[in-house]
Structure 1
Amino acid sequence: MTIGSERRELSRAEVAGQLRALGVEEGGVLLVHTSFRAVRPVEGGPGGLIQALRDALGPGGTLVMPAWTGDDEAPFDPRVTPASEDLGVVADTFWRIDGVLRSDHLQAFAAAGPRAAYIHRDPLPLPPHLPESPVGRVHDLDGQVLLLGVGHDADTTLHLAELIAGVPYGLPKHCTVLRDGRPVRVDYRENDHCCQRFALADEWLRARGLQREGLVGHAHARLARSRDIVAAALEHLERDPLVFLHPANAGCEECNEARASVPA
């Protein structure tokens, strides 16, 4: 028996009601990271979940989701390049909907609503989650972040906090862009690591009553303001700039690479 057949399908209206009860603000800006596998089944599938999110926000609200490609070698075409499989089916469905704006660079987000153009106002952000990026613009607009069936390890707003804090680690990365119709490699340094310790944000936000939690669909959901996530992270990064990295003896290769990148 499949997971979907074991669970009752929730209507779009029920899911919108769950979102409102959780604290999603009508007319607000909402950045969503989600796993449909955790949420399902929902009336209308991934598209039905997207519509429930838009129903909860109302016509004055702006919905934002990641839509990057994950392919550093191929030039990016926002009209046809699929979103990375790591982002899930909801994110890959959202950018394809008529009227949804998608960034014209490979570190793309998609947005729909009155503030969508503002969220996409900047050129290619390198590293990806600078203040001058869609994640940064959600922060500017005092938006909310919804983690739906995923934890803070998927929370791009914590990468924004790292960059604002000026963390000392960074790994060499590159991407490919089109210039005058020709592919060009662009090198940059990114605050990259395994992200598992982003889960610390749960206790930081819960301790201050800044994170609301509950069911949306069949998934555990976390909701917090972007500015609260960043402020909580900055407080701890000021004390320990390596707080998000596993200890050197923990055996995490990605975090050890990041530690090794810190200037002596």
Structure 2
Amino acid sequence: MRREGGRHDATITDSGEGSRTKVTTCAEVAAQLRAIGVREGGVLLMHSSFRAVRPVEGGPLGLIAALQAALGPEGTLAMPSATGDDDAPFDPATSANREDLGIVPCLFWQQPGVVRSAHFDAVAAVGPRAEWITGGPFVLPPAAPGSAIDRIREADGQILLLGVGHDANTMLHLAELLGGAPYRSAFHYTRADGVRVDYGENDSCCEKFALADEWLRAEGLQREGRVGKAHARLIEAEDLIRVAVPRIRADPLVFLHDADEGCEECDEARESLSR
């Protein structure tokens, strides 16, 4: 962020239109987060699109600072930190995030005090419960019970979807497994000794994860509001599991597009049922 006269500039210029857009300050972002229900001292798993949130004072690092301010010193902030290279051994100190996770998680795991899981489907976290969340057992599929995602739920964690929908919500992969979703798509990772390990993961295009919006709203369990310029959803992880699992048990393929809808990823998941 530019500095003028010793202070942060409060506006940015859109050169295409010549207009000026107010930058949301870190204090304002923290207040917005608290207003939608982020708990001081709590555990928060965030999925985000900074493009939707911006402009924020200090950029992506300013957003991270605002999240930590809203949580307070006793709170723990977690973000996905999985690698995008399944053909190289994972090194938590150097392996880059998958690009589709966004700039905020990409910067987050590299910040002082942040710890990262020691395996390829990593979670990064900072705060009193960070070591416990990221230090759990390596399980397959990666969101299975016992994983970092499950530990966030066990810690009465909240899920913040900031500028993204439930298609980004990793906790729903845990719900699939707890609900008995039977499909698996083919994935692999590479061990530290260079050996390739193939495994099946409950995966699809995830577009139908959007069903969680109506399930949660129907019970008043999803708080929504504006954070920066983005639409934000806040959910208790345990509420999401409680609401989603019975629906998956009733219809194990509820998150898959129908076979005639032409979704390649869902078709792959469906085909795994006959293997």
- Shorter-chain TM range is over 0.9
**CA RMSD of superposed structures (Å):** 1.5
- TM-score, scaled relative to structure 2: 0.92
Q: 1:18 to 1:183 in 2, by over 3 A?
A: same
1:122 aligns to what? 136
Aligned partner of 1:253 in structure 2 is: 264
Within-5 A mapping of 1:29-40 = 29-40=43-54
Give the Å deviation of 1:122. Answer: 1.9
Deviations 1:154-206 (A, max 9, x none): 0000001011122111122110011xxx2111111110110000000000000
Contact persistence 2:77–2:125 (CA under 8 A): yes
Counterpart AA for 2:94: V
Alpha-carbon distance in structure 2 between the residues aligned to 1:186 and 1:166: 24
> Does structure 1 residue 187 correspond to structure 2 residue 201?
no
Q: Which moved more, 1:44-53 or 1:68-77?
A: 68-77
Structure 1 residue 206 corresponds to structure 2 residue 220: no
Q: Which residue of 2 aligns with 1:230?
A: 241
| Letter aligned with residue 133 of structure 1 | S
> What do the CA deviations read for 1:199-236 (whole angstroms, capped 9, x no partner)?
00000000000000000010000000001111111121
Q: Contact 1:129 / 1:135 at 8 angstroms: preserved in 2?
A: yes
Partner of 2:181: 167
Size of the aligned set, in residue pairs, is 261
Rounded to whole Å, the distance in 2 between the matches of 1:254 and 1:263 is 15
How far residue 121 of structure 1 moved from its aligned partner, in angstroms, is: 2.3
Q: What displacement does 1:42 show?
A: 0.4
Q: CA deviation at 1:7?
A: 2.9
Q: Which has the larger radius of gyration?
A: 2
For residues 173 and 51 of structure 2, the distance between their equivalents in structure 1, rounded to whole angstroms, comes to 25
Counterpart-to-counterpart distance in 2, 1:247 and 1:3: 43
- Of residues 232, 254, 259, the one that matches 1:243 is 254
2:89 — aligned with what?
75
Q: Which amino acid aligns with 1:234?
A: V
Deviations 1:103-137 (A, max 9, x none): 11111110000111110122332111112111110
TM-score, normalising length from structure 1?
0.96
Structure 1 residue 238: Cα displacement: 1.4
Once superposed, which parts of structure 1, at least 4 consecutive aligned residues long, lie more than 4 Å away? 2-6
Structure 2: 5+ residue runs without aligned partners?
A: 1-13
